[in-house]
Amino acid sequence: MTVTTDCPKQYPATGISVLIVGAGVAGLMAALECRRNGHDVRVIERSPEQVITGDSFTIGPSAIHALDHWPQMVIENEKIANNPTISFHDLTGARATVPKHINYRQGQNSKNAPEQVHRHWRPQFHNMLLKQLSAIGINVEYGHRAVEYFEDDPAGRGGIVLENGDRMDADVIVVADGVGSHSTSVTMGREIQARPSGEALYRTAFPVEIAMADPVVRERFPIVEGNEGPIELWTGEKIRFIIARTADTMSWALSHNDYASATESWSHSADPDEVLKITATIPNWPEVADRLIRLTPRDRLLHFRVMWRDPQPSWVSPAGRIVQIGDAAHTYVPSSGNGATQGIEDAVSLATCLRMAGRTGEVPWALRVHNRLRFVRVSCLQKLGLINRKTYTRAPSKGNFTPKGIENLMAEWIWNHNPEEYAEENYNKVLDHLQLGTPFQDTNIPRGHIYRDWTIDEILCQQERGEEVELDGEWE
């Protein structure tokens, strides 16, 4: 990439300095969008170097459209994205449904729905963002672990203390360091308690040629070409096994209930033999699946413990100089299918709100407006993810079957949203709402939905009683 051909026009400089803590998808997108919106940007990351592990995620249209301001990323995104088909199987590997593409659904008055679902390998998407950031002259500073957050209200600055005792400050500290962030002690005044979901995931992605070296694996999971990306979802009452592949990458994930050795970390490696001990207990589990598991490079296999956190309404520190985005603000269970998308939406919304504020003295209100614009939407999607989780534990039906959980994620209110336009149109309305108490109605949520606070325990108790969780409004 070169600076002269692929960098968008910037808005006039605001003079607002932004220090971003965390170089994941949300943090890197925040850096790009903050620079485009006229802010001064610096990015630090606790890892000693760029992280190249990780498997796949879906990036929704609301996030894909954010790339439109970055011409080279639009081109590269189409190269690295794949358009998956999904088929459903039982735990013997026997197919229950034919492979088919999942399409976004249109509401009665919607614009044209997107033509395809964009599925990405995390390292490729992450590298695309890094290259674009470098092209505009911003390089990630690695090996900087933030252990404490603070703010100086009279000086109008937020800051961090690094592990080595050094201090860094800026007009805005953007916390994008993922789950379990230390910043909640500032934004919420306490650490947010996470509770085990009872589930953990073994997950991996590695070069497809490693898998194709085994003729039995190659026959069952043949090589694919172009941007096709078949996904097989094997489901049972307590086990889910997902196999996905493209022309260059093989990926699998196994969800299970025995999570004692797992941690809530994307860097906790595991041994394939651990997985084989679980599959040995599954009746009629096929040998070809075990062969695929044995081929997995040990340094590419992660064991992630899925934790739950209640919706966190406040992402902003009392003096308004520190703000959380992405997983630091709102964690999602994997069945939500929205973690990366909402992290990107956060980045766009925050950068826009800071531009609308226009100067350092208005930064606290910009962060509070952003928080209010985003919270109800992400809370609705967190709730939907918990509800969807149940739909993936049922045995697959025969024929033309798509779990209701996947259908819910294709709804228009989710994909047909533009976080930049939404922030521009509603910034002053929310500012009046916060300062003067004037009414404000969210329109980036299901039409007709009246939001109320909820907890994970509330949802789980309803499900354990066999009750359907009521969703008022038009969620589908």
Q: pLDDT tens across 96-151, in order?
A: 888 888 777 655 555 666 767 788 888 899 999 999 999 999 999 999 999 999 99
User: What value does the mean pLDDT take over residues 443-470?
Assistant: 86
Band of residue 89 on the pLDDT scale cut at 50, 70, 90: very high
pLDDT at 267 > cutoff 60: no
Segments making up each domain of the chain, as ranges: 3-85+110-193+310-423, 195-308
Q: Counting beta carbons within 10 angstroms of the beta carbon of residue 398, is it exposed (0 to 12), middle (13 to 18) or buried (19 or more)? A: exposed
| pLDDT top residue among 473 and 319 | 319
pLDDT at 215 (0 to 100): 97
Exposed e or buried b per residue across 12-41, where buried means at least 16 C-beta atoms within 10 angstroms of its C-beta: eebebbbbbbbbbbbbbbbbbbbbbbbbbb
> Tokens for 462?
């309803």
Q: What are phi and psi of 54, to 5 degrees?
A: 120, 155
> Tokens for 14?
């605001």
In the chain, the amino acid numbered 307 is M
pLDDT at 465 (0 to 100): 83
CA-nearest of 361, 476, 353 to 420 is 353
> Tokens for 420?
């930049």
pLDDT at 2 (0 to 100): 36
CA dihedral angle for residue 215, residue 220, residue 225, residue 230, rounded to 10 degrees: -150
Length reported for the chain? 476
pLDDT at 237 (0 to 100): 78
pLDDT at 111 (0 to 100): 60
CA-nearest of 43, 242, 273, 209 to 141 is 43
| pLDDT top residue among 457 and 365 | 365
In the block, residue with structure tokens 């490079």: 297
Q: How many CB atoms lie within 10 A of CB 9?
A: 6
H or E element: which one contains 201? strand 195-207
Cα–Cα distance for residue pair 371/388, rounded to 1 Å: 25
Q: Among 71-85, 156-170, 207-221, 414-428, name the one with the lowest average pLDDT.
A: 71-85
| Strand, coil or helix: 250 | strand
CA-nearest of 184, 185, 81 to 128 is 81
pLDDT at 261 (0 to 100): 63
Q: How many CB atoms lie within 10 A of CB 243?
A: 21
User: What value does the mean pLDDT take over residues 420-448?
Assistant: 97
DSSP lists the bridge partners of residue 269 as 302
Band of residue 466 on the pLDDT scale cut at 50, 70, 90: confident
pLDDT at 1 (0 to 100): 33
Q: Counting beta carbons within 10 angstroms of the beta carbon of residue 467, is it exposed (0 to 12), middle (13 to 18) or buried (19 or more)? A: exposed
Q: Among 38-42, 89-93, 237-241, 443-447, name the one with the lowest average pLDDT.
A: 237-241
pLDDT at 403 (0 to 100): 62
pLDDT at 423 (0 to 100): 98
| pLDDT top residue among 465 and 366 | 366
pLDDT at 3 (0 to 100): 41
pLDDT at 227 > cutoff 90: no
204 to 162, 180, 267, 435: CA distances (angstroms)? 31, 22, 11, 48
Active site residue 203: yes
pLDDT at 405 (0 to 100): 60
| pLDDT top residue among 60 and 347 | 347
| Strand, coil or helix: 443 | coil
H or E element: which one contains 383? helix 363-391
Q: 83-89 and 100-101 as β-strands: parallel, antiparallel, unpaired?
A: antiparallel
| pLDDT top residue among 2 and 45 | 45
Cα–Cα distance for residue pair 50/52, rounded to 1 Å: 6
In the block, residue with structure tokens 């390998």: 121
pLDDT at 335 (0 to 100): 64
Per DSSP, 269 falls in state: B
Q: Counting beta carbons within 10 angstroms of the beta carbon of residue 273, is it exposed (0 to 12), middle (13 to 18) or buried (19 or more)? A: exposed
**Whether the domain at 3-85+110-193+310-423 and the domain at 195-308 fall into the same CATH topology:** no
User: What value does the mean pLDDT take over residues 286-315?
Assistant: 90
Residues 6+ apart with CB under 8 A from 16: 38, 39, 40, 171, 172, 354, 357, 359, 360, 363
Q: What are phi and psi of 372, to 5 degrees?
A: -70, -35
In the chain, the amino acid numbered 158 is G
In the block, residue with structure tokens 């009683």: 465
Identify the active-site residue in 36, 119, 122, 203. 203
Average pLDDT, the chain: 87
User: What value does the mean pLDDT take over residues 421-447?
Assistant: 97
CATH of 3-85+110-193+310-423, one of 3.50.50.60, 3.40.720.10, 3.30.70.2750, 3.40.50.300: 3.50.50.60
Band of residue 400 on the pLDDT scale cut at 50, 70, 90: low
pLDDT in tens, 141-186: 999 999 999 999 999 999 999 999 999 999 999 999 887 677 877 8
CA-nearest of 105, 100, 70, 72 to 88 is 100
| In contact, 332 and 338? CB cutoff 8 Å | yes
In the chain, the amino acid numbered 193 is Q
CATH of 195-308, one of 3.30.9.30, 3.20.20.80, 3.50.50.60, 3.40.50.10800: 3.30.9.30
pLDDT at 458 (0 to 100): 86
Cα–Cα distance for residue pair 78/207, rounded to 1 Å: 20
| pLDDT top residue among 215 and 199 | 215
Per DSSP, 325 falls in state: -
203 to 260, 266, 284, 368: CA distances (angstroms)? 16, 10, 22, 36
Q: What are phi and psi of 33, to 5 degrees?
A: -70, -35
